[in-house]
A and B are shown apart, each in its own frame.
Chain A
């Protein structure tokens, strides 16, 4: 792990302005049969920054997020056009495997969805499937990841128990630990705290801030206060199009678009 951190560190020093780093979306369109869900989306998600994706319900936030780990591949009737690049490489290019892509791009869903497996296996199954750790190293990884999300003390005595007896917040932390076990470069968070209590929400927000030192984070949120607290940048969507992409400070204090102003002040959305 320290190795990956070190790597992240050097990249951070060299990188900041390099256009190819981070997640870059070019003229992205998503259609479901005849319906346009997203159109003409072009934007950059800066590396090792937290970008909040905001907008009214149904504007396409989840759809955008799912374009970035190619979750639409499985959905019949979904068509994606344009391109998404991660660190300069187009993830929709022929020959790119979703397995490797999703290893690098983790995802957290609106509601926790732990595997119906033991708590320990929830962490170790994916890394083992990807051949990242051996069965013997897995135990160490489990402790490391659970510690990182602050769940270790709570579950160390019942690693072989079902995760469904944990609270919703603990389950979501477990899912975060599960995603982190693959050492992703990008994390896609789809309203990860919308079903959680304030204490766990605050805990997850702190984790997001810490993680952004080494991971590029895209977080969809309905909670503007949350976006203001944790995001470096904001992407504001309406009806499947980008309204404004700005730094968090600009977006909340001096937005460039009238609709952003209305959204921030609570008049729309």
Chain B
């Protein structure tokens, strides 16, 4: 979003073509004002981004100095105890026992979001392609209404559902079956726990991401020109073959964009994950079923405790987590756009038919 805003601000508007002498100055002046307003408007998102980054960096400096690279390598994230005398380290003061190792949180964020998107994309794309072939138009718009409703459910509700209903159900009935795959994927070996953990969080995230990817895919599929699909049908190709040969290539780039959008959502999703993932701050889970944590859930889950720290270093550590999350979001966003540009510049673009 921010990136797009910036691009708009930067892209040069063509200079106004010379008008007749008398009217020229007025037109010029009007154009200049318009351009100036547009430029300022274009700068707003850029300025907001810069402001956020600066505030985050400044707030994070104490924690950065305190733990250095330990932030990225350490496996224990602890706010320490405010009931014992504070400790001094690298010229900074922090609560007794404080340790800001965020590697498990970073990994937890990537693992949950990647599992979520890895499940959500094939499910939504496959589902939409199948339903768009088999369902009549009216049923399809009913379905997209349903998807919009699903997308509108507050994440807290997903969190509560996940922790009280979905997680326990999966732990009782489904995860024991998945342990059978433990020989192939070691992380699927038991014990399965009670249903609060990485996998439950990933699955709920997947459910939350499906509407985003599916709604976009449906719109893309709807926009594939009838003429293009009829070319395949008129050659006696089946609907399945037509989807493979025409529809999918037409929507591929768009689906990539939708997937990245969904991934961004999964990376940053906080409340549902906070409820479901089990909030363990020390070390790594033994397998995918057990408790872990993510960057965003850690901020939400420990903010209360961090605020009681009078040295301010705990809050700074949370700001550093926020900064890392921000950087991850920006990098994935940029990388995504690069990938999309690469793909759409290559052979087979969306909507470049005659």
Is chain B found bound to chain A in the same assembly? Answer: yes
A residues touching B (Cβ–Cβ < 8 Å)? 69, 71, 74, 76, 98-103, 106-107, 109, 111-118, 125-126, 129-130, 161-162, 164, 168, 171, 175, 178-179, 182, 195
Add 15 more A-B contacts to A102-B234, A116-B246, A117-B245 (CB < 8 A).
A99-B236, A99-B238, A109-B230, A109-B234, A111-B227, A113-B225, A113-B228, A113-B354, A115-B228, A116-B250, A117-B249, A129-B237, A129-B241, A164-B352, A195-B354
A103 to B228, CA, bound (A): 18
Q: Which of A102, A112, A113, A178 has the most CB of B within 10 A?
A: A113
**Binary flags per residue of B235-249, CB closer than 8 Å to A gives 1, else 0:** 111100100011001
Task: Tell me which of B228, B235, B249, B354 contacts A126 (CB under 8 A).
Answer: B235
Asked if B349 is an interface residue, CB under 8 A from chain A, the answer is: yes
Residues in B whose Cβ lies below 8 Å from that of A126: 232, 235-237
Provide the residues of chain A in CB contact with B235, threshold 8 Å: 102-103, 106, 126, 129, 178-179, 182
A109: contacting residue among B227, B238, B245, CB under 8 A: B227
- A-B interface, 8 closest residue pairs, ranked by CB to CB distance from nearest: A102-B236, A116-B249, A113-B231, A126-B235, A107-B234, A162-B347, A116-B348, A99-B236
7 CB < 8 A contacts A-B: A71-B233, A111-B227, A113-B225, A113-B227, A117-B245, A126-B237, A164-B353
| Shortest Cβ gap from A66 to chain B (Å) | 9
B-side contacts of A171, CB under 8 Å: 354
Question: B18 near A: Cβ within 8 Å?
Answer: no
* Least CB distance, A103 to chain B, in whole angstroms: 5
Task: Assess whether A98 is in contact with B249, with CB atoms less than 8 Å apart.
Answer: no
Task: Provide the bound-state CA to CA distance between A178 and B233, in Å.
Answer: 13
How many whole Å from A71's CB to the nearest CB in chain B?
A: 6
The reply on B137 being an interface residue by CB < 8 A is yes
**Interface membership of B22, Cβ < 8 A:** no
Question: Is residue B14 contacting chain A, with contact meaning CB distance below 8 A?
Answer: no
Please, how many angstroms separate the alpha-carbon atoms of A23 and B232 in the complex? 23
Q: Give the distance in Å from the alpha carbon of A126 to the alpha carbon of B246 in the complex.
A: 12
Q: Given A76-B137, A113-B353, do A98 and B230 touch, yes or no (CB 8 Å)?
A: no
Residues on the B chain within 8 Å of A109, using CB = 227, 230-231, 234
Distance in Å: Cβ of B352 to nearest Cβ of chain A = 5
Question: Which B residues have a C-beta under 8 Å from some C-beta of A?
Answer: 136-137, 225, 227-228, 230-238, 241, 245-246, 249-250, 347-349, 352-354
A85 to B235 CA separation, bound complex (whole angstroms):
19
| B234 A71 Cβ-Cβ under 8 A | yes
Q: How close is B136's CB to chain A, nearest CB, in angstroms?
A: 7
With A99-B236, A102-B236, A168-B354 as given contacts, are A162 and B231 in contact (CB-CB < 8 Å)? no
Contact residues in B for A164 (Cβ distance below 8 Å): 348-349, 352-354
On whether the beta carbons of B354 and A111 are closer than 8 Å, the reply is yes
A79 to chain B, nearest CB (A): 16
Complex: A99 Cα to B238 Cα, angstroms: 7
Q: Is the CB of A113 within 8 A of B249?
A: no
Give the residues in chain A near B237, CB-CB below 8 Å: 99, 125-126, 129
Cα of A168 to Cα of B354 in the assembled complex, Å: 7
In the assembled complex, which residues on chain A have CB atoms less than 8 Å from the CB atom of B227?
A: 109, 111, 113
Q: In the docked arrangement, what's the CA distance between A71 and B225, Å?
A: 16
B347 cross-chain contacts in A, Cβ below 8 A = 118, 161-162
Given known contacts A69-B234, A111-B227, A182-B236, A125 and B349 CB-to-CB distance under 8 angstroms: no
> Is the beta-carbon distance between B233 and A112 smaller than 8 angstroms?
no
Instruction: Tell me the smallest distance from the CB of A124 to a CB of chain B, in Å.
Output: 11
Is the CB–CB distance between A113 and B230 below 8 Å?
Answer: yes
- Complex Cα distance, B137 from A103, in Å, reads 28
Return A175 CB to nearest CB of chain B, in Å.
Answer: 7
Nearest CB to that of B233 among chain A residues? A74
Q: Are B230 and A71 in contact (CB under 8 A)?
A: yes
A244 to chain B, nearest CB (A): 28
Q: Within the complex, what minimum Cβ distance (angstroms) separates A68 from chain B?
A: 11
Q: Complex: how many Å from CA A102 to CA B228?
A: 16
User: How far apart are A33's CB and chain B's nearest CB, in angstroms?
Assistant: 14
**Are A102 and B354 touching (Cβ within 8 A)?**
no
Residue of B nearest to A164 (CB): B352
A71: chain B residues at CB < 8 Å are 230, 233-234
Question: Does the CB pair B232–A115 fall under 8 Å?
Answer: yes
Q: How far is the CA of A106 from the CA of B234 in the complex (A)?
A: 7
Inter-chain contacts of A161 with B (CB < 8 A): 347
Q: Tell me the complex Cα distance, A71–B347, Å.
A: 29
In the assembly, what is the distance between CA of A182 and CA of B236, in Å?
Answer: 10
A143 to B159, CA, bound (A): 60
Complex CA distance for A118 and B347, rounded to whole angstroms: 8
What CA separation (Å) do A100 and B238 show in the bound complex? 11
Do A100 and B236 have beta carbons less than 8 Å apart? yes
Docked CA distance A161–B232 (Å)? 19
* Shortest CB distance A241–B (Å): 26
Using Cβ atoms and an 8 Å threshold, which residues of chain B touch A111? 227, 354
Interface contact B231-A115, CB-CB below 8 Å: yes
How far apart are the CA atoms of A109 and B233 in the complex, in Å?
A: 12
Contact A116 B236 (CB under 8 A): no
- The closest CB in chain A to the CB of B224 belongs to A116
B354: chain A residues at CB < 8 Å are 111-113, 164, 168, 171, 195
Please pick, from B136, B137, B246, B349, the residue contacting A115 in the complex, using a CB distance under 8 A. B246
* Complex alpha-carbon distance, A69 and B233, angstroms: 10
A54 to B240, CA, bound (A): 35
A127 vs B225: C-alpha distance in the bound complex, in angstroms?
23
